[in-house]
Amino acid sequence: MQIEKLRGKELDQLFNAVLSLKDLEECYRFFDDLCTVNEIQSLAQRLEVARMLQEGNTYHKIETQTGASTATISRVKRCLNYGNDAYKMALDRVKENQEAPTENA
C-alpha cells in the first residue's frame, strides 16, 4: 500500500474526520472547507473513471465524458487491476445504497 508511508496521527485524524460525517450535506461542507474546487473535482473524476472502467467503457469514451486525461485513466485502471480493491468496494456500496429502498418509501 503506497499510503503506508503517510500513516500517522495526522492522516488518522483526517480519516476519522471523514468517517464522522453524518450525511451528504456534512460531506459537502467539510470538503468545501478542506479542499479546493479543483481537488474535489479531481477526486470525483477519478471515481467516475473507475466506475466507467468497471463497466467496460473505452478510454476514448471515458476521456470524452469525464475530461480525464489518458494518464489519469491509466492510473485508475492500474489501481483497479493491482490496487487494494477499494474503488470496487466503494462503488459497490454506493450502488447498494442507491438501490436499497428507503425506510420512508
The tens digit of pLDDT for each residue in 7-23 reads 999 999 999 999 999 99
Please calculate the CA angle 66-71-73 and round it to the nearest 5 degrees: 45
Closest by Cα among 35, 46, 32, 34 to 86: 46
Question: Residue 82 — very low, low, confident or very high, per pLDDT cuts 50/70/90?
Answer: very high
What's the pLDDT at 91?
Answer: 97
> 2 or 65, which is more confident?
65
Kindly tell me if the per-residue pLDDT of 85 is higher than 90.
Answer: yes
Distance CA 81, CA 85 (A): 8
Question: What is this structure's pTM?
Answer: 0.88
- DSSP class of residue 100 equals S
